[in-house]
Amino acid sequence: MSDAFAPKMLAFLCNWCSYAGADLAGVSRFQYPPTIRVLRTMCSGRVDPLHMIEGLKSGFDGVLVFGCHIGDCHYIDGNYFTMTRVAVVRRLLEVSGVGSERLQLRWVSAAEGQIFAEYVKELSATVEALGPFEHERYAFELAAIEHALETPRLRWLTGMERQLTAHENVFHERLDSEQYKRVLMDAVEMEYHKSAILQALKKGPLVVREMASITKIPVQTVAQRVEDLEKSGRIDFCGYDGTAPRFMSAAA
């Protein structure tokens, strides 16, 4: 609690509820620490997972996403998408070792000035306890996360959650929400691994053990992902290092 470190956090506020709630906190003079820098969007559903990661890449110690309460969204259900996206990015932060606590999601209504102030206090303390975020140290992981978030697979799975679990698929079936979440989270992990390997290969050809050491992913897992990547033509075999096969990025 010394004044040595005060976090700086990016706060996405949706125009209709949370921004209004933050305004109300101001009008009511509810004091909170000067830790957030606000970016207003019309809906929290505008916030792309890549925007959240950009926050961490740019020097913020944490990223907060605020939206309307579920059911209150000015755009009907934009915040459901936000919920899934934040869960996906948090999972990526977790598997990459960056730590999921640096991304937080909270619901604040236009009438909840005090609650907004309380959340900022709470989350400032959370991020303060984590200490400054050294984004250069995590440059590799952040690049891999970003790559994973750009993959059509993750974007599709993230975007379709609402359609498939609340509405229906093309066979008029509604999927079980918990089951879908498991599928999604497994995909997140897998895409991160693949992205991390591709990221590692950017600097030149590597053997599996080297990839594992750079990506901090277990050798066994790397070997499996390398097989996937080779099958899908993303990486190519390019010779041996002793008995170990060496791979290079297909694009390179």
Partner 1 sequence: MKTDATAQPGTGAVMVVGGGIAGAQAALDLAGSGFYVYLVEKSPSIGGVMAQLDKTFPTNDCSMCILSPKLVECGRHLNIKLITMADVQAIEGDAGAFTVTVRERPRYVDMEKCIACGVCAEKCPKKVEDAFNQGLGPRKAAYVLYPQAVPLKYVIDEENCIYFQKGKCRACEKFCPAGAVDFNQKEKVHKLDVGSVILAPGFKPFDPGMYDVYGYGVHKNVITSMEFERILSPSGPYQGHMVRPSDKGECRKIAWLQCVGSRDMQLGAHEYCSGVCCTYAIKQAVIAREHAKGEVDASIFYMDMRTYGKDFERYRNRAEGENGVRFIRSRVHSIETAAPGSDDLKIEYMDADGNMQNEVFDLVVLSVGLEAPADMADLAARLDVRLNGSGFAETSAFAPAATSRPGIFACGAFTGPCDIPSSVMGASAASNACAVLLSGARGKLTHEKTYPPEAPVAGDAPRIGVFVCHCGVNIGSVVDVPSVRDYAKGLPGVAYVADNMFTCSQDTQKLIREAIAEHKLNRVVVAACTPRTHEPLFQETIREAGLNGYLFEMANIRDHDSWVHQSEPEKATAKAKDLVRMAVAKVALLEPVAKMRAELDHSAMVVGGGVAGMVAALGLADQGFKTHLIERTDRLGGSALNIRRSWNGEDAQAYVKGLCDRVAAHPEIEVHTGAKITSVAGSVGHFTTVVESVGGAKELEHGLAIIATGAKAYEPTEYLYGKSPLVTRWHGVEDLLESDPRRVDAMQAAAFIQCVGSREPERPYCSKVCCTASVRQAILLKERKPEMDVYILYRDLRTYGLREELYTQARRLGVMFVRFPDNEKPVVESISENGRERLAITVKDHVLGAPVRLTVDLLNLATAIVPEGAKELAQLFKVPLNDDGFFLEAHMKLRPVDFATDGVFVCGLAHYPKPLEEAISQAQAAAARAAAILARPYIEVEPIVSTINSDLCTGCGLCEKSCPYGAIRRREVIGRGWVAETVTALCKGCGVCAAACPQRAIDIVHFRNDQLMVAIRAGGAATPS
Q: What is d(CA 23, CA 171) in angstroms, rounded to the nearest whole number?
A: 46
**Contact status: 183 vs partner 1 (CB under 8 A):** no
**From the list 143, 162, 238, 248, which residue makes contact with partner 1 (rule: CB under 8 A)?**
162
Site residues (CB under 8 A) for partner 1, limited to 75-94 = 75-78, 81, 85
Answer whether 108's CB lies under 8 Å from 17's CB: yes
**Contact status: 62 vs partner 1 (CB under 8 A):** no
**Contact status: 131 vs partner 1 (CB under 8 A):** no
Site string for partner 1, 7-46 (x = CB under 8 A): -x-x----xxx-xx-xxxxxxxxxxxxx-xxxxxxxx-xx
Using the contact rule CB under 8 A, the part of the chain among 5-13, 100-108, 198-206, 242-250 near partner 1 is 5-13
State whether the Cα torsion 162-165-168-170 is positive or negative.
positive
Answer whether 18's CB lies under 8 Å from 67's CB: yes
**Contact status: 195 vs partner 1 (CB under 8 A):** no
* Least distance in angstroms from the C-beta of 11 to partner 1: 9
Answer whether 206's CB lies under 8 Å from 246's CB: yes
**Contact status: 51 vs partner 1 (CB under 8 A):** yes
Phi-psi region of 121 (alpha: psi -120 to 50; beta: other; left: phi over 0): alpha
* Least distance in angstroms from the C-beta of 152 to partner 1: 4
Burial pattern 28-63, b for ≥16 Cβ within 10 A else e, equals eebebeebbeeeebebbbbbebbbbbebbbeebbbb
Residues that bind partner 1 (CB under 8 A): 6, 8, 10, 15-17, 19-20, 22-34, 36-43, 45-49, 51, 54-55, 57-60, 71-78, 81, 85, 109-111, 117, 150, 152-153, 155-156, 158-160, 162-163, 167
